[in-house]
Chain A
Amino acid sequence: MLQLLQQTLAQFEGVEYLIRETKTHRLECYNIKKQPEMKREAQTTDITLVLYTVFEEKAPDGEMKKYRGSFSTEIHPATGEDALKKIIEEGVYAAGFVKNAYYPLVSPSDGSAPTVKPQNMPQVLNDLQAAFNATDIHQEGHVSYSEFFITKTDRRILNSNGVDVSYTTYNAFIETAVHWKREGGEIEVGEAFRFSLDMENPAAFLKSRMEKLFTASRNKALAQPTPGVGDINILISGEALSTFFFYYKNRASTQMVYQQLSTYKEGDQIQSGDGDKITLTLDPLMQGSQNSAPYDDFGFPLTRHEIVKDGKLTKLWGDVRFSHYLNIPPTGVLPNLHVTGGTTTVEALRSAPYLELVSFSDFQADTITGDFGSEIRLGYYFDGEKTIPVTGGSISGNMEKVHGSLKMTKTEEQHGGFLCPEMICIRGASISGVV
């Protein structure tokens, strides 16, 4: 198909293009408690074609200015030559009305993608399910359901500049919920685990996360309504931290800066105050991350970049297009984020009264306004004497108002494509308690 598409594109003089081909093979297993409910399999090929045109027009200041138009479309892999010609003709016509400031396309690079060890997908599925089921041994609690997805993805990216790169990934996704008995019924704690199969022992990793989930569900069964706690240390751990720290990553993107949705400039002290200062590194090949890739969606080769050092923005990140607009070197679009550990320990953070939040309905942070908030699914309240699990109520605040007091543990924990301190402490967020 790619050959036919390239041959057809060659018939259109002056048309530049990008092609992304994604071949997916996915094994799926759905279980109710420990019983398989249904198995599924998917074998698909998806092709994205982006057509580019370059044209000049008189700008408002009277000068001739160079523009780039583009049009992106999905091509079914069985599309014939005549249909392809029609798609390209219509696409080139449409691209002529997309008047963006000129930018170059990605150029070919040296090097190649790291070799990926082939995986026996049915075996991986069995091993992960066995490790998962081995944790379901409690009298008071059990797995309600689980869904397992093992995916092999072969990606190839080509463009009219001569880029032709490819890579393979193997990833796992597991969604589950655990129930635990309490007086008058049961509670539920849900979780999703995403990881790549390049980690040392995926089954052991899954087992350890499931054990944590069972612990959380046991504690939620004992939880009391979250009290009004006033101004107190708020400790946060778990996957919600990715939302918290991606705020900085997103605001440091060249696209957000170009669109004036972010006011960040290289050299800005983006986090001030007496707390621990953040250091952020984008790591394209983070082991265990389902997002790891040697190239971005445009075929640009990815390497590690430190973007924030001790609270100071050292580098904006972005693709070739938006970096060109800001006249800075591109980094490519890097999916994984490493937040370097801070100066304290979990024990030290738990030494004074606190509200520790470990599970949320849906922790959200608005990249534009900095507002964040969520309902509390599970937390622990320490009043200086005793610790009780709590549930309900909500947290809300603004990143710019809480990050000055930030404390982070030295120890780090990985959540898919996000490696960060195991726990953080903030002040200044509002807690709406239930009682």
Chain B
Amino acid sequence: MQNVPASPFLSNAKPVLKKLIALLQRHFTYVSVLGTDVSGKNYRVSDRVTSISDTTWGERGFVIRVFEGGRYYEYAFNLLPDSDTALEKLCETITNNARDAMQGEGFTYPAPVEEEITQTFHGKVETLPTDVSPEEIIAKLTQINKKMHETSELLVEAIATVAYAQTGKIFLSAKKELEQHYIWSEAYIIPVARRGEVTQNAYKSYAGLKGFELLEEVEVGITETVQTVVKMLDAKPVPAGEYDVICSPDAVGIIAHEAFGHGVELDMFLKNRANAKEYMDKPVASPMVKMHDGATATNHMSSYLFDDEGNLGSDTVIIEGGILKAGISDALAAAHLGSAPTGNGKRQKYDHKAYSRMTNTFFAAGNDTVEDMIASISHGYMIMDASSGMEDPKDWGIQCMFSYAIEIKDGKLTDNWVSPVVMTGYVPELLKNITMMGKEVEFSGGGGCGKGHKEWVKVSCGGPYIKTKARLG
């Protein structure tokens, strides 16, 4: 294993940023700056199109946060001043704009309180993506594409991608000097099959705080994913109704994320947007449910030393014994609610606002086996491969979409597949109906999570197999 190297861009920027903070401190009670340098590549091979491009998660810039008289203001930029005069000018711009912005009536926060802390974190990977040549990566993806086609003649397209983001961040304020450098990688295989007029696509994702050792994992699952898409060609729509269901860890992850991830983001409490506010210390799930979120709760896509507001990551137990125990917070929401920040203040990029966001969200393991779950169902479905989810934290409505499900009859998996599958329901009902939980937690980290209509960030989610009741359509 080797350390992820530090960002020279941020190392060079640090002295200038410290000067800027010192200048701004003449005008404001509190000043902080987040500097980011996230770069990486996205490699993609399909039958007819190959590409290499920068990761869409890339960013390189700074955001200044100032506080005075209960009000915050932020200014984002990506060109550092190249002289002391330019630095003074930037300080003047920020000061004037902030004063204008803080005029008049407004929502006020208590003054930020920070502890003195200096810390640096370097993630470790087996293979730095920058040490692998584009030739090797394209050759590997081409080989995966070929293997997908060798598995079935029904494929009309076979897409293989791998991407990484080398993340460098610094956070500076009067009391804090934090630095972190880590890498996450993700890969997808997407076979597309056609028979007659019917076309189907399946996917498998691979992700983690890893380098391009991840490429070796992709081998596992090619045959199974192609067989899945071929099988989906014969899938029928699911007859609408309520069923006993077993959810795969991938499906469970999205349920955890949607059910009590978004619903306990504490900035939602400030706006009275989450019903969970009224249910703290009350039962919201089956007594066997324990749910976590946190940068340190596991080691996956959203594990880090500090968040985008300079607060250290933690492990929040959201639900324990079926009781709603705690939410996750950005610094401002925590300050307003009088709680300690949980290190969940994340930004899409440096030029976006920080919100309370999920990191790694998951249900803890139980004691049941999948075999016992299947055997316990007279008629139901085993739900596989989440494709998207959405929740209404105010009304506790939930929507999760899955690629397919397999019918269970008389305690046995059948050969009847249904696709697509839309699961809807009332969050506490879905979670209170959980009667069995598997022994092993698995995580997914492909894709991203939005808030409202925007603000995409990387997260992971997961859990064990669970058995519950759900409405499918």
B138 within 8 A of A: yes
Is A187's CB under 8 angstroms from B138's CB?
A: no
Complex contacts, B452 vs chain A, CB 8 Å = 147, 175, 190, 192
Complex contacts, B270 vs chain A, CB 8 Å = 32
Is B134's CB under 8 angstroms from A175's CB?
A: no
Least Cβ–Cβ distance between A404 and chain B, in angstroms: 14
Is B79's CB under 8 angstroms from A361's CB?
A: no
Question: CA separation between A97 and B79, bound complex, in Å?
Answer: 33
Closest to A91 in B: B52
A44 within 8 A of B: yes
- Cβ-neighbour of A371 out of B97, B192, B419 (below 8 A): B419
Least Cβ–Cβ distance between A320 and chain B, in angstroms: 15
A211 within 8 A of B: no
Least Cβ–Cβ distance between A324 and chain B, in angstroms: 13
Complex contacts, B77 vs chain A, CB 8 Å = 42-44
Least Cβ–Cβ distance between B69 and chain A, in angstroms: 13
Is A361's CB under 8 angstroms from B390's CB?
A: yes
Is B78's CB under 8 angstroms from A44's CB?
A: yes
Is A38's CB under 8 angstroms from B401's CB?
A: no
Show 10 A/B contacts (Cβ-Cβ < 8 Å), sorted by A.
Answer: A36-B101, A43-B77, A46-B78, A78-B82, A94-B134, A98-B50, A100-B49, A188-B395, A371-B420, A396-B420
A residues 85-103 near B (Cβ < 8 Å) are 93-95, 97-101
Is A362's CB under 8 angstroms from B399's CB?
A: yes
Question: CA separation between A36 and B453, bound complex, in Å?
Answer: 20
Closest to A48 in B: B54
Least Cβ–Cβ distance between A79 and chain B, in angstroms: 10
- B403-436: contact bitstring with A at CB < 8 Å (1 yes, 0 no)? 0000000000000000110101010000000000
Closest to B97 in A: A41
Complex contacts, A377 vs chain B, CB 8 Å = 392, 397
Complex contacts, B332 vs chain A, CB 8 Å = 38
- Cβ-neighbour of B473 out of A40, A173, A395 (below 8 A): A395
A375 within 8 A of B: yes
A273 within 8 A of B: no
Is A40's CB under 8 angstroms from B76's CB?
A: yes
Question: CA separation between A100 and B399, bound complex, in Å?
Answer: 40
Complex contacts, B353 vs chain A, CB 8 Å = 28, 30, 38, 40
A residues 25-62 near B (Cβ < 8 Å) are 26, 28, 30-32, 35-46
Count B interface residues, CB 8 Å.
Answer: 76
Question: CA separation between A430 and B58, bound complex, in Å?
Answer: 41
Least Cβ–Cβ distance between B84 and chain A, in angstroms: 17
- Cβ-neighbour of B272 out of A35, A38, A175, A186 (below 8 A): A186
Complex contacts, B107 vs chain A, CB 8 Å = 31-32, 35-38
Question: CA separation between A186 and B394, bound complex, in Å?
Answer: 8
Question: CA separation between A190 and B75, bound complex, in Å?
Answer: 27
- Cβ-neighbour of A361 out of B51, B272, B399, B454 (below 8 A): B399
Question: CA separation between A186 and B157, bound complex, in Å?
Answer: 48
Complex contacts, A74 vs chain B, CB 8 Å = 39, 54, 58, 60
Is A97's CB under 8 angstroms from B422's CB?
A: no
Complex contacts, A375 vs chain B, CB 8 Å = 390, 397-399, 422, 424
- Cβ-neighbour of B271 out of A95, A145, A394 (below 8 A): A145
Q: A97-B134, A394-B473 are in contact. Are A36 and B106 (CB under 8 A)?
A: yes
Is B73's CB under 8 angstroms from A373's CB?
A: no
Question: CA separation between A258 and B138, bound complex, in Å?
Answer: 21
Closest to B102 in A: A39
The stretch among A65-73, A132-140, A306-314 that forms the contact with chain B is A65-73
Is A77's CB under 8 angstroms from B240's CB?
A: no
Question: CA separation between A432 and B385, bound complex, in Å?
Answer: 21
Is B273's CB under 8 angstroms from A373's CB?
A: no
Complex contacts, A199 vs chain B, CB 8 Å = none
Is B80's CB under 8 angstroms from A78's CB?
A: yes
B85 within 8 A of A: no
Least Cβ–Cβ distance between A28 and chain B, in angstroms: 7
B344 within 8 A of A: no
Closest to A186 in B: B394
Is A39's CB under 8 angstroms from B73's CB?
A: yes
Question: CA separation between A371 and B236, bound complex, in Å?
Answer: 11
Is A432's CB under 8 angstroms from B472's CB?
A: yes
Question: CA separation between A190 and B157, bound complex, in Å?
Answer: 38
Is B424's CB under 8 angstroms from A432's CB?
A: yes
Q: A38-B72, A94-B134, A97-B138 are in contact. Are A369 and B273 (CB under 8 A)?
A: no
Closest to B395 in A: A187
B residues 107-126 near A (Cβ < 8 Å) are 107
Question: CA separation between A60 and B391, bound complex, in Å?
Answer: 51
Question: CA separation between A354 and B166, bound complex, in Å?
Answer: 53
Least Cβ–Cβ distance between A106 and chain B, in angstroms: 18
- Cβ-neighbour of B53 out of A40, A72, A395 (below 8 A): A72
Is B199's CB under 8 angstroms from A188's CB?
A: no
A179 within 8 A of B: yes
Closest to A46 in B: B78
Is A72's CB under 8 angstroms from B52's CB?
A: yes
Question: CA separation between A371 and B199, bound complex, in Å?
Answer: 11
B105 within 8 A of A: yes
- B249-282: contact bitstring with A at CB < 8 Å (1 yes, 0 no)? 0000000000000000000001111010010000
Complex contacts, A392 vs chain B, CB 8 Å = 397, 424, 426
Closest to B98 in A: A39
Given contacts A40-B74, A185-B275, 11 further A-B contacts (CB under 8 A): A32-B271, A36-B101, A40-B73, A42-B77, A101-B48, A259-B48, A263-B199, A361-B424, A375-B422, A393-B473, A432-B472
Least Cβ–Cβ distance between A50 and chain B, in angstroms: 8
A177 within 8 A of B: yes
Is A432's CB under 8 angstroms from B201's CB?
A: no
Complex contacts, B71 vs chain A, CB 8 Å = 38
Is B48's CB under 8 angstroms from A45's CB?
A: no
A352 within 8 A of B: no
- Cβ-neighbour of A432 out of B156, B197, B241 (below 8 A): B241
Complex contacts, B138 vs chain A, CB 8 Å = 97-98
Closest to B156 in A: A260
A328 within 8 A of B: no
B311 within 8 A of A: no
B46 within 8 A of A: yes
A366 within 8 A of B: yes
Is A396's CB under 8 angstroms from B473's CB?
A: yes
Complex contacts, A431 vs chain B, CB 8 Å = 240, 473
Q: A35-B105, A97-B135 are in contact. Are A77 and B79 (CB under 8 A)?
A: yes
Question: CA separation between A147 and B275, bound complex, in Å?
Answer: 21
Closest to B37 in A: A76
Is A175's CB under 8 angstroms from B157's CB?
A: no
Question: CA separation between A423 and B192, bound complex, in Å?
Answer: 33
Q: A44-B77, A177-B273 are in contact. Are A71 and B52 (CB under 8 A)?
A: yes
Complex contacts, B134 vs chain A, CB 8 Å = 93-94, 97
B residues 34-64 near A (Cβ < 8 Å) are 39, 46-54, 58, 60-61
A405 within 8 A of B: no
B351 within 8 A of A: yes
B321 within 8 A of A: no
Closest to B271 in A: A145
Closest to B278 in A: A185
Complex contacts, B394 vs chain A, CB 8 Å = 177, 179, 186-188
Is A396's CB under 8 angstroms from B237's CB?
A: yes
